[in-house]
Structure 1
């Protein structure tokens, strides 16, 4: 492939993202040094389900190792349908949270905080979803770490459940076995009873926060959020939040029964 630049598509923040050989080049920002410090730490402690940071190129773009495989959403979401594969995702999330627990951010760290999380105690990914999971053979990894920022384990887990179960009001993605799949994920992650109860109360709020965020960004014309709002993503997140909120007892029974 040499030095040819191949545009990479997918996700909502992919503008200007290209592959060059075995690397990925992405637009950098004030948060990039902190994100690279985070990724360096994760690899140093043995967490490999993330790209490696390789510095900044001569165009000012961040350079990351290329992760081969298929992005799970939407065409390859069926790869995660078996319970053992859903559980594998949950264990990767748990491994990340354990690996990041002793990370000390640089004193001048600047994070791209999109939706603040109350009681932040780790640097969370904030977008652990199938559109950011590369399923390779045999390596799996989460990509798009640009919005890593202070957060909590449950904040990440609630968001991950929305995407990976999925917890969706959309007939195309709604699943009759959503509660069972949620239990598979949470069991594999390893939450105790107290945290499971807290998680149930957080599910709808975490999902609704996405609709609120998109509405606020659209009001001031910030991209790509304004585009997503006009494409109906805000309404979709709100519908999902209502769907989740109406089934609190079902989620309680699934996780605690």
Structure 2
């Protein structure tokens, strides 16, 4: 696979190399830069989960598999030392930085080869962040925690618990996570709104297509049912 490179590419390649060297198989491996200045990555066979293959996350053991894959990544990256003067491309910074996070762990960035290899792609936005910032974003997409009638789940609380248990969140992390669920989702709306004000692409197009409204509706839905998420996580 060949993709446009940028100032962030050396740091991202260092990250992906580290993940490969410590045995994490859920990310592509970097193969360098080609003669046109594009980054070269190993190809991940399979199908992107979102939207047509979202059913791959049912039955629920597959949702647990996603959570464990994310936990494996977070554990694998714990020992990563970024290159000196690393340049990252983080669009929405987290409050704190205990790891180098992916920042976009979502169904549209998960390639599943049936029940075989599962790989997260699109690491260009990786950078300093926190485990819980990554997890909050992943829960929005994989549960999903959505107000949209096509995606809203009557079993969302159960799926939230399955994910948290499979990831291995401790009690303190569960309490910290709940307010992050809406904050992380609302941050996407705020980011798209600002990018649209600035006229930056492709974000302006996404805003015009209504993605900003969708993120805001999801944030309000998450806030409305916050006590349900608390009971699901800590009961």
TM-score over 0.5 (shorter chain): yes
1:54 aligns with 2:31: yes
The Cα of 1:88 is off from its aligned counterpart by: 0.3
| Match 1:107 to one of 84, 87, 103 | 84
The residue aligned with 1:35 is 12
Listed as ranges, the gaps of 5+ residues in structure 1 are 1-23
| Match 1:93 to one of 70, 84, 99 | 70
Preserved CA contact (<8 Å) 2:185 2:218: yes
Q: CA RMSD in A?
A: 0.6
The residue aligned with 1:165 is 143
Distance 1:91 1:184 in 2: 11
1:234 aligns with 2:189: no
The Cα of 1:108 is off from its aligned counterpart by: 1.9
The Cα of 1:119 is off from its aligned counterpart by: 1.2
Q: Deviations over 1:17-39 (max 9, x none)?
A: xxxxxxx1101100000000000
TM-score by structure 2 length?
Answer: 0.99
The Cα of 1:106 is off from its aligned counterpart by: 0.1
Distance 2:201 2:39 in 1: 20
The Cα of 1:201 is off from its aligned counterpart by: 1.2
The residue aligned with 1:21 is none
Aligned residues: 234
The residue aligned with 1:204 is 182
Higher RCO structure, 1 or 2 (CA under 8 Å, sep 6+): 2
1:123 counterpart SS class: strand
The Cα of 1:121 is off from its aligned counterpart by: 1.2
Q: Deviations over 1:67-94 (max 9, x none)?
A: 0001000000001121110000000000
1:205 counterpart SS class: helix
Map residues 1-257 of structure 1 onto 2, 5 A cutoff: 24-137=1-114, 138-257=116-235
More helix by share: 2
1:179 counterpart SS class: helix
TM-score by structure 1 length?
Answer: 0.90
Distance 2:113 2:85 in 1: 35
